Amino acid sequence: MILPQHELEDGRKQVQRMTAILEIHDLHVSYRSSGSELSPALKGVSFRLMPGEIMGVLGESGSGKSTLAGSLVRLLPGNALVTGGTVQFEGKDLLQANPDELQAIRGRHISLIFQEPSLALHPTIRVGEQVRQVLAAHGSRGKRTLNERTRQIFAEIFPEETDRISRSYPHQLSGGQRQRVLIAQAIACGPSVVVADEPTASLDPTTQMEILGVFRRLRERLGLAMIFITHNPALLSDFADHVLVLYAGEVAECGPAESVLGLPRHPYTKALFQSTPAVSGKPGTGRKAKLPVILGDSSRSSLPIRGCCFEPRCTERMEICKEREPSPANLSVSHTVSCFKYES
C-alpha cells in the first residue's frame, strides 16, 4: 500500500518529534589539578533534548552547569578530561568527532551563548561586523549576501533599532542589548540547538524578562531547541518544557517543568525555590525580605566521602543518606529524583 504524500510527510514529522536531537548519556567530566589529581565535575549526567524543546538546567555555582555547556560542543579548559559517556547529536557522538567535524557543527548546528557579553564581544569592532564574521566563518559568500543576512538577523533581534545597534560598538550598548547581540551571533547560521549559559545572570529583573521574551519568539519562529542554564528557578516558570537539577555534578531531579517547578521533590530543589526571590518584569514590585539560605556549601572539599552528596546540607537527611548514594527513583515515566525518600 502506498500512502499519499501528505500522510508520508505527517509520518516523518511525527518520527522527528519522537527522536531526540541531542542525547547525553552517562557523561563524566573531571578537572586535573596541578598535582595531577582528578576532581570530578560531572558524574553520570544523562538527558534527552527533543526538537523545539527548552530544557532548563538548574543549580548553584559549582554544580557543573557550565562544564555541561562546554562539554556539549567540546569547548572545555585544557585541564578538563571527559572520562566517560556520550553526547549524541543527530546520531553522531560529538565526543568522538574530529576537529574538522566539530568546527562544522559549532555555530552552524549547535550554538553556545556565553554568560558575560563584555568578555565575549570584541570591544573595538562594531557588533554588526562581529555577527557578519560569524556568517563568513561558516560559509556565507559575497559581500552583498553577508550584509543582507546580517541585517535580517539584527531586524529579528532589534526590530525597532536595527541599523543603530548594528553600527554600535559594545560599550555603546546596554547590558541587555549586548546580550541580544550574543543571541544574534548564536542564531546567525540557523542552528537547531542553542545552549545558553546563564544568559541573564548579570541583568536586572526587567531586562531578564525581556531576554526570555526574545528566546520565546525565536523558539516560535525558528523552532529552536534550547538548553537554558540558570541558578534561578523563577526564570524557568512558563518558559522551560523540562527541568534538570544539578548538584555537585550529579542529577538530583529531572522531569517536566510543571512537575519539577510545581511540586519539587528533591530536598535540594525545594531549598533552591525557598532561597530564590521571585522574578517580576514590572518595576516597583520587588520587596525586601529575608530569604532562607541553604546552609553549608557545595565546594569539593565540603562533599562527603561516601553517601549522598547533599546529605551535609539536607534538612531531611536520614541515616541511610550517610551510607550510600541514592539511585534515581521514577516518580512517573518522565520524572526522576535521586533521593532515598522515594526509593521503593
| Digit-coded pLDDT (tens) for 307-323 | 999 999 999 999 999 99
Contact predicate 64/47, CB 8 Å: no
Between strands 225-230 and 193-197, the pairing is parallel
Q: Which residue has the cell 539584527?
A: 154
Given a cut of 90, whether residue 214 has pLDDT beyond it is yes
Given a cut of 80, whether residue 229 has pLDDT beyond it is yes
pTM: 0.88
Average pLDDT over residues 245-252: 96
Q: Which residue has the cell 509520518?
A: 11
- How many other CB atoms are there within 10 angstroms of residue 64's CB atom? 25
Q: In which band, very low, low, confident or very high, does the pLDDT at 274 lie, cut at 50, 70 and 90?
A: confident
Q: Which of 94, 73, 17, 13 is nearest to 49 (CA)?
A: 17
CA distances from 245 to 70, 226, 326 (A): 17, 16, 15
Helical segments of the chain, H only: 5-18, 65-72, 99-105, 117-120, 127-137, 143-157, 162-167, 175-187, 205-222, 257-262, 267-274
Residue with more model confidence, 286 or 35: 35
Least confident piece of the model among 5-19, 200-214, 241-255: 5-19
Cell of 86: 556520550
Give residue 107's pLDDT. Answer: 87
Helical segments of 19-142, H only: 65-72, 99-105, 117-120, 127-137
Given a cut of 90, whether residue 4 has pLDDT beyond it is no
Q: In which band, very low, low, confident or very high, does the pLDDT at 142 lie, cut at 50, 70 and 90?
A: confident
pLDDT digit string (tens) for 275-302? 877 655 444 444 566 777 788 887 777 8
Tell me the β-bridge partners of 113.
196
Give residue 285's pLDDT. Answer: 44
Average pLDDT over residues 162-178: 95
Residue with more model confidence, 277 or 102: 102
pLDDT digit string (tens) for 324-343? 999 999 999 999 999 999 98
Give residue 7's pLDDT. Answer: 44
Round to whole Å and give the CA distance between 185 and 337.
36
Round to whole Å and give the CA distance between 191 and 109.
4
Q: Collect all residues with Cβ–Cβ distance below 8 Å to 294 and sequence separation of at least 6.
A: 60, 268, 271, 272, 275, 313
Give residue 18's pLDDT. Answer: 67
Tell me the β-bridge partners of 112.
195
Give residue 298's pLDDT. Answer: 77
Residue with more model confidence, 20 or 10: 20
Maximum Cα–Cα distance for the chain, whole Å? 68
Round to whole Å and give the CA distance between 249 and 7.
44
Q: Which residue has the cell 562581529?
A: 130
Residue with more model confidence, 6 or 109: 109
Give residue 280's pLDDT. Answer: 52
Give residue 114's pLDDT. Answer: 86
Report the share of the chain in percent with pLDDT over 70.
Answer: 91
Given a cut of 50, whether residue 16 has pLDDT beyond it is no
Please, what is the average pLDDT of the chain? 88
Give residue 278's pLDDT. Answer: 64
305: region left, alpha or beta (phi > 0 left; psi from -120 to 50 alpha) = alpha
Q: In which band, very low, low, confident or very high, does the pLDDT at 35 lie, cut at 50, 70 and 90?
A: confident
